[in-house]
Amino acid sequence: MKKAFLGELIAEAVAMFIIIAIGDSVAAMYTLYDPSPYQTAYWGVCITWGLAVTIAIYTTASISGCHANPAVTLALAFFRKFSWSKVVPYCLAQVAGGFLGAATVYALFSPVIDRFNALHHLTRASGGAAGVFFTHPSLAITPMHAFTDQIILTGILVFGIFAITEQYNEQAPGANSGALIIGFLVAAIGASMGYLEAWAINPARDFGPRLFCFLTGWGSSALPSPDNYWWIPIVAPLIGGVVGGGAYQLLIHQFLPTRNRAITAQMNP
């Protein structure tokens, strides 16, 4: 393996580590403490997840592009000429980073998790405190409804990322502020739709921590999880990423004036 490619994989793992270490920690703060510091300030949870994404981008984007999401990686391969040979290695690195991020959160909060479960007469095997680490549907949301939700939410995410990073978009933020706007996009999705099923919108964000929990006492409550839910935050975001990227290419990209002027100039040198 070439050193440059190894660096890309490490960067993707580090990006997901940052996102999960910060994001699952704020989920722990929201879930485990009574009174919760975020119970009446849910926007704080959303903005913390968004800032985690921003920090990950500023840290790793110059090496790997900071996809930090298999849905983004797949969409970039479909529509932005990202190498197909790198798709699976990037996704595996992202899952590994999510796993290690969850391990760090566990190291920090395991005594609080145990106290929370004891206080509420829960066990890890029954799913006690599982919401700290991975996602699940909320009240009245069936697994198949969640499947549709995750396609839509991830589509919005990737549509926005494509717009923010579009070279021909004259209204896109500058290179140094794009990471912040992507973080705000993640926060906005969470603030407006996050209660549906904790807005996974990222297979590695859900599966890495879920796998960690499977190995540390949550067992079948993590994998395959109630109603065999585990596959939905993987498959639905992958579909949603392609849908969102395709929608951007179809509805916006082809009509950008700067792009069309560049094509005209190439045809008439």
Domain presence at residue 65: yes
The answer to whether residue 98 scores a pLDDT higher than 90 is: yes
Q: How far apart are CA 150 and CA 134, in angstroms?
A: 14
What pLDDT shows up at residue 36? Answer: 87
Within-domain flag for 257: yes
- Whether 268 is in a domain gets the answer no
Report d(CA 136, CA 149) in Å as an integer: 12
Answer for the pair 14, 60: CB distance below 8 angstroms, yes or no.
yes
What total number of domains does the chain contain? 1
Q: Is residue 235 part of a domain?
A: yes
Residue 13 burial (CB < 10 Å; 0-12/13-18/19+)? Answer: buried
pLDDT of residue 152: 98
Structural domain boundaries enclosing 51? 1-263
252 residue type, one letter: I
Q: What is the CATH number of the domain that holds 238?
A: 1.20.1080.10
Q: Does residue 182 sit within a domain?
A: yes
Asked if 66 contacts 57 with a C-beta cutoff of 8 angstroms, the reply is yes
| pLDDT > 80? residue 244 | yes
pLDDT in tens, 11-64: 999 999 999 999 999 999 999 998 889 888 999 999 999 999 999 999 999 999
For residue 7, tell me if it sits in a domain: yes
pLDDT tens for each residue of 180-231: 999 999 999 999 999 999 999 999 999 999 999 999 999 999 999 999 999 9
CB 31, CB 129: distance < 8 Å: yes
What distances in angstroms separate CA 27 from CA 7, 49, 189, 208, one per listed residue? 30, 9, 16, 15
Does residue 269 lie within any of the structural domains? no
**Please, which pLDDT band fits residue 267 given cuts at 50, 70 and 90?**
confident
